[in-house]
Structure 1
């Protein structure tokens, strides 16, 4: 995770961006040696790959996107099917360069950059699967304590948010809606704000407070190691953090994460 002020960006997205940059730089260099065909083919493959990766994710999670069709275009929330994108990009490269001497070096650059990004992402995701720290206690708006240790044995989701955080505010109506009907508990843990301020903001947005909890001293964020907001953790029945989604989460990504906990 990298932080930008109080906000954070997921490292797996950074790895994907770096992989793309490396491939495009290599394609540009190859283009100078073998003609511009490889450069144009690389841009074409990039576009085809991104569209295919997004389309694959949308297809996998159509029930969530059907509720909010415009969210298909909210690519800043994440949500791509990498294998579909890589396969489509590879096919595009082969078709574009099938008669060009640039096919082999461009293909090798594509395979190398894709492999490096996938390996880095896999290692990062594996490292994020760790036990949820013990001793964390949140409080309801009424002041009642809720120990997360008591939830071990059943999966749950924790979303860390604050009313001053723009992406938190955008995702909150959807999170509250899904929390109300999800069989897996979704805990919405406000970071560092008091009950009065949280109630005032919720009332102003006409949102229910049923699933809102307070982490006034931000102990959850500190223990988990989340340096920015929002952050959503998917915790399995053994108390292991299976996934940490940093940044605004879409309905599709939330439901996909919940399915993985079953």
Structure 2
């Protein structure tokens, strides 16, 4: 009996027409049965935002290139796409969710702003193994061919081995040719940050407005980080957890002198 192909949900934040998601779909079609649910317009930097004050629209798109997969465009955020896919579109829970391939880095602190990674995290909260893929190239004309090899390797490893409950993978791929990429490094998130600046301007009617700019600052000198791996020509793989509890701080907080609850004294 032939082995059943895994059901793979494909999401992104750059929009359903972005070249990155097209590359990801191509790889996933070689691995499993694919359903694409992606925003109908770019949603970069949306983080874990969801739509609660507007209606959500989801439209089926005819696939014209002969590929067997299904596609849907959604008016909402990347996280909305996961929710509507799991609850309304798919007949069963997918075996895997892949998000991307993002145009630009989601390494280090960028993971908390990323719509790409938030989609993967949302899938993880539903008990679906999930991976977010990003290429360190913001260009619309980015070359995703070198990424495909590593996307397939990592995807097949996740399908074979599974992921621990509460963990999803954040994968970043350097902007290099396939022959220049040195391999894959499992890493931690670098301790880095953005030093934000705002470019203040005034419009023709005298109203001030702002453009967010800034500089990415990495002072983490560790050789076990995603930033080190990428700088040195490796694909970085960071396991990310969505339990945000700072477990190491609980003992200290319990030592604080909190006042007793007056209701309990009555």
* TM-score after normalising by structure 1: 0.25
More relative contact order, 1 or 2 (CA 8 Å, 6+ apart): 1
Structure with the bigger percentage of strand? 2
* TM-score after normalising by structure 2: 0.24
